[in-house]
């Protein structure tokens, strides 16, 4: 299986550059693999697509303002994209500079916050902030939201609110779990009133989610590591939902990765730690019965995961339909509701 097997042509004008005025006003393409059909609709159609007793599982990670700008002590400009917070004042990050910073390089970030490059960590750098101010406070003062590189129309005030889910509560991600961006408080209230249940995992999405696959063979790719937590309460919710004959529905690919990482002997069990799970066609997903997700980049690992849910040919056909019908793609774009085929 090759990366090129997941290619599709996408006109640049279909890449959403800004969110809609209302979160839940997006379009929704229903891929019903069980009945082999595509249905064009609106995101609020979830009110009829979901049934009382169904369990929606969200990723409650919170995006941190992880993009920083500054200078080296020698005067050269630097851009820092934090990949992970390692301690009270230390981070692992990608760095962009005219010359690769060496161990011991002094930085001034934002409004003059001092920092030191401690060394390399693979493709990343370890950086220590030399200030007694709490790191979270520093980032909120000088950092910017780490928007994907394909979003060119940046509005810092808008993006601080809209590149964040309304249920985000555990800081640590450097990319939003974008399927959750479509949910607003009124829609959540209406779903709850209909008897739909809610559960949460935490998976801190890393900067690697923006990186393209660098090998041609899917089987040779190694995923970046991300931290997740699946709690005992959610595991019980999933058990009870399945026992009652209802569905477990993942809101986003990160939830699928979290639940599959926590699965043992066909059952989701409490787990906190790192995962590098890579899901692509041939992998049998057992932890969820349906998936809500955005439209993903060509040849991306996210598109491969979606193809594992519904089948590569079905998904690429749905994407061709979405292009023809002018759906909006990627983080600020429209969504899909995917029910796997009966034979999966």
What phi and psi values does residue 333 have, to the nearest 5 degrees?
Answer: -95, -160
Residue 335's beta-bridge partner residues?
A: 28, 294
- What's residue 183's pLDDT? 98
Residue 323 CB-density burial (10 A; 0-12 exposed, 13-18 middle, 19+ buried): middle
What phi and psi values does residue 163 have, to the nearest 5 degrees?
Answer: -90, 45
What's the CA gap between 182 and 164, in Å, rounded? 10
> For the chain, which ranges sit under pLDDT 50?
none
Q: What's the CATH architecture for 67-142? A: Beta Barrel (2.40)
- What's residue 212's pLDDT? 80
- What's residue 167's pLDDT? 97
Tokens describing residue 146 = 């780490």
**Domain chopping of the chain, boundaries:** 3-63+160-339, 67-142
What's the CA gap between 89 and 131, in Å, rounded? 8
- What's residue 344's pLDDT? 58
| The model's pTM | 0.94
What phi and psi values does residue 32 have, to the nearest 5 degrees?
Answer: -95, 90
Query: pLDDT by residue (tens digit) across 235-245?
Result: 999 999 999 99
Let me know: does 28 contact 22? Beta carbons within 8 Å: no
Contacts of the segment 85-90: beta carbons below 8 A, 24+ positions apart: 85/135, 85/172, 86/126, 88/134, 88/135, 89/128, 89/129, 89/130, 89/131, 89/135, 90/118, 90/126, 90/127, 90/128, 90/129
- What's residue 122's pLDDT? 85
Let me know: does 296 contact 330? Beta carbons within 8 Å: yes
> Of 54, 62, 61, 57, which is closest to residue 200 (Cα–Cα)?
57
> Of 295, 305, 309, which is closest to residue 339 (Cα–Cα)?
309
Q: What is the CA radius of gyration of the chain?
A: 20
CATH of domain 3-63+160-339: 3.40.1780.10
């Amino acid at each position: 299986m090759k990366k090129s097997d997941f290619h599709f042509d996408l006109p640049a004008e279909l890449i959403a550059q800004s969110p809609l005025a209302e979160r839940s006003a997006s379009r929704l393409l229903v891929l019903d693999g069980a009945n082999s059909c595509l249905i064009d609709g609106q995101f609020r159609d979830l009110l009829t697509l979901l049934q009382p007793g169904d369990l929606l599982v969200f990723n409650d990670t919170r995006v941190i303002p992880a993009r920083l700008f500054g200078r080296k002590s020698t005067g050269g400009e630097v851009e820092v994209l934090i990949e992970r917070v390692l301690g009270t004042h230390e981070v692992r990050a990608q760095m962009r500079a005219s010359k690769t910073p060496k161990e011991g390089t002094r930085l001034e970030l934002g409004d003059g916050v001092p920092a030191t490059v401690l060394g390399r960590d693979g493709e990343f750098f370890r950086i220590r902030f030399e200030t007694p101010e709490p790191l979270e406070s520093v980032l909120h003062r000088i950092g910017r939201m780490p928007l994907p590189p394909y979003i060119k129309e940046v509005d810092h005030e808008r993006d601080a609110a809209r590149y964040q889910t309304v249920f985000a509560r555990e800081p640590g991600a450097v990319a939003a779990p974008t399927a959750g961006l479509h949910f607003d408080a009124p829609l959540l209230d209406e779903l709850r009133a209909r008897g739909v249940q809610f559960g949460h995992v935490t998976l801190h999405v890393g900067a690697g989610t923006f990186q393209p696959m660098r090998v041609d063979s899917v089987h040779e790719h190694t995923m970046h590591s991300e931290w997740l937590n699946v709690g005992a309460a959610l595991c019980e919710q999933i058990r009870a939902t399945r026992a009652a004959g209802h569905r477990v529905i993942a809101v986003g690919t990160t939830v699928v990765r979290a639940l599959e990482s926590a699965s043992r002997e066909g059952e989701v069990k409490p787990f906190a730690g790192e995962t590098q799970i890579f899901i692509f066609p041939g992998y049998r997903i057992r932890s969820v019965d349906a998936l809500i997700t955005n439209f993903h980049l060509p040849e991306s690992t996210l598109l491969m995961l979606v193809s594992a849910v519904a089948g590569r040919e079905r998904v690429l056909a749905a994407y061709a339909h979405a292009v023809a019908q002018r759906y909006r793609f990627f983080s600020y774009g429209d969504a899909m509701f995917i029910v796997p085929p009966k034979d999966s």
